[in-house]
């Protein structure tokens, strides 16, 4: 049966639509680019005929030519700037020119100084094994007692200096009549009262006591004598101890440190507490100026009710002592240390000296020493310290007394 017209029409319409769509698709497709041709194979020329053993030789590439130099129009070329001139040398007037300081020299290598010949001789004598010589000790003690009379006359007392007596000053030509006012200031009796102690420490103030650890040994003596109000507390205790039975006080020191007690007296009294109830020995009759200072010390002690007992050094004893040592060759004024060592030799069976060393170098450690263990103030030149030490060293050699140098050990006493 033939298709109807309606069906044919629909079929043609469908074909027409498909044709339009197909045409559209074909028109939007871009043609593919042509293929890039490969470069032709490199042809290597064959070796010339007759070349035996030649291999294929590739010709070297031709050199790449350098680009031509850049040509800049002369109108565009700028000249180089002129060089900057150096500033002229600074002219300084010769008067203002200071010479360069000399170079600081490097410190020399630390050298431990060797002991001088004098100290070598001293130590050769000292280094001998020490032993107490009873016979020598007794003879020297008896000699001092018979010529100096320290037992009975070292201190001015109402026993040995009665009312109305004449006191002759030791350092000047002057006499003082003992009035009742003076008499009442004297000790009522001899403080030593003819008794002796078994062991005595006489403590000088030499720098050799620093780091000596002698404090305990010094304090172990029955009677301890110190010179010129030295410090004994705090950091000094380990080296010098603090026990004090007798201490000397030089009036010049009292004037220097406490203005002779003419102003405030409390600082002086606070400083004296370190000596507890000791005897304070004052040379009241060496010079007239010393009398007034010594009396002010005594009155101050009484006013403040101090346990310290001021006593006056007897100028008659000093005169005897000076004559004794002058006969041994000592011409200068005696030091407090030698006076107290001499007194101790009368009062004590065994005398030990500490801090007696008149040189500025340690005899054992070979290091410099301060003048005192508490400061480095130089001593006055009125005393012959090395000469005095020489005499004490002789007594050490003879076993009469013992000098302690260096560090103290329990066995060194």
Grouping H, G, I as helix, E, B as strand and the rest as coil, residue 197 is strand
Instruction: Give the model's confidence band at 277: pLDDT under 50 very low, under 70 low, under 90 confident, else very high.
Output: very high
CA distance 347 to 191: 11
Instruction: Give the model's confidence band at 12: pLDDT under 50 very low, under 70 low, under 90 confident, else very high.
Output: confident
* Max Cα–Cα distance, the chain, nearest Å: 193
Distances (CA, A) of 361 to 71, 194, 202: 92, 40, 21
Show the domains of the chain with their CATH numbers.
138-225+235-241+314-412 (3.90.1480.20)
Better-scored residue on pLDDT, 55 or 175: 175
Chain CA centroid to CA 113, Å: 18
> Which residues are tagged catalytic?
383
Task: Give 64-114 pLDDT, tens digit per residue.
Answer: 555 555 454 455 546 655 665 655 555 545 555 566 667 666 455 444 455
Instruction: Give the model's confidence band at 397: pLDDT under 50 very low, under 70 low, under 90 confident, else very high.
Output: very high
Q: Is the pTM of this model over 0.75?
A: no
- Per-residue pLDDT, 382: 81
Dihedral angle sign, alpha carbons of residues 357, 282, 316, 159: negative
CA triple 267-225-193, angle to 5 deg: 110
Give the Cβ contact number of residue 359 at 10 Å.
18
Residues 6+ apart with CB under 8 A from 85: none
- Residue 340 main-chain phi, psi, to 5 deg: -75, -35
- Per-residue pLDDT, 65: 57
Instruction: Give the model's confidence band at 63: pLDDT under 50 very low, under 70 low, under 90 confident, else very high.
Output: low
Dihedral angle sign, alpha carbons of residues 100, 102, 104, 106: positive
CA distance 7 to 28: 33
Task: Count helices and strands (H / E) in the chain.
Answer: 13, 9
Both tokens assigned to 374: 């508490």
By the 8 A CB rule, do 365 and 373 touch? no
By the 8 A CB rule, do 317 and 148 touch? yes
Task: Provide, rounded to the nearest whole percent, the portion of the chain with pLDDT above 70.
Answer: 73
Q: What stretches of 46-140 adopt beta strand conformation (E)?
A: none
- Per-residue pLDDT, 103: 63
By the 8 A CB rule, do 184 and 331 touch? no
Cα end-to-end distance, the chain, whole Å:
162
Helices (H), 189-272: 215-219, 237-240, 251-258, 266-272
Which residues sit opposite 313 in a β-bridge? 155
Chain CA centroid to CA 400, Å: 37
- Per-residue pLDDT, 128: 81
Place of tokens 């490097």: 106
Which of 294, 226, 308 is closest to 258 using CA atoms?
A: 294
Cα dihedral 110, 114, 116, 121, rounded to 10, equals: 160
CA distance 31 to 135: 147
């Amino acid at each position: 049966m033939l298709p109807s017209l309606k069906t044919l029409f629909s079929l043609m319409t469908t074909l027409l639509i498909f044709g339009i769509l197909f045409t559209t698709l074909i028109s939007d497709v871009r043609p593919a680019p042509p293929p890039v041709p490969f470069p032709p194979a490199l042809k290597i020329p064959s070796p010339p005929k007759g070349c035996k053993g030649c291999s294929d030789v590739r010709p070297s590439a031709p050199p790449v030519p350098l680009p031509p130099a850049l040509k800049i129009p002369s109108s565009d070329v700028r000249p180089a700037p002129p060089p900057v001139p150096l500033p002229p040398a600074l002219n300084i007037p010769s008067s203002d020119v200071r010479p360069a300081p000399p170079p600081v020299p490097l410190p020399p290598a630390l050298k431990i100084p060797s002991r001088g010949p004098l100290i070598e001789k001293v130590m050769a004598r000292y280094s001998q094994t020490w032993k107490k010589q009873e016979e020598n000790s007794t003879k020297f003690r008896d000699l001092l007692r018979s010529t100096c009379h320290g037992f009975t006359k070292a201190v001015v007392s109402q026993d040995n200096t009665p009312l109305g007596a004449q006191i002759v000053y030791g350092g000047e030509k002057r006499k003082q009549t003992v009035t009742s006012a003076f008499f009442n200031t004297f000790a009522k009796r001899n403080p030593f009262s003819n008794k002796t102690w078994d062991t005595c420490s006489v403590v000088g103030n030499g720098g050799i006591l620093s780091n000596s650890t002698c404090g305990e040994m010094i304090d172990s003596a029955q009677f301890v004598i110190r010179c010129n109000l030295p410090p004994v507390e705090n950091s000094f205790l380990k080296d010098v101890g603090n026990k004090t039975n007798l201490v000397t006080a030089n009036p010049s020191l009292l004037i220097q440190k406490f203005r002779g007690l003419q102003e405030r007296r409390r600082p002086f009294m606070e400083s004296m507490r370190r000596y507890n109830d000791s005897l304070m020995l004052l040379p009241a009759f060496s010079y007239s100026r010393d009398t007034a200072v010594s009396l002010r010390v005594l009155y101050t002690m009484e006013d403040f009710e101090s346990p310290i007992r001021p006593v006056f050094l007897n100028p008659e004893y000093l005169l005897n002592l000076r004559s004794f040592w002058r006969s041994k060759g000592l011409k200068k004024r005696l030091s407090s240390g030698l006076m107290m060592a001499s007194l101790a030799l009368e009062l004590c069976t065994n005398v030990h000296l500490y801090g007696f060393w008149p040189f500025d170098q340690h005899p054992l450690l070979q290091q410099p020493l301060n003048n005192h263990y508490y400061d480095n103030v130089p001593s006055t030149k009125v005393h012959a310290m090395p000469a005095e030490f020489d005499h004490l060293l002789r007594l050490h050699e003879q076993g009469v007394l013992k000098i302690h140098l260096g560090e103290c050990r329990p066995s060194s006493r």
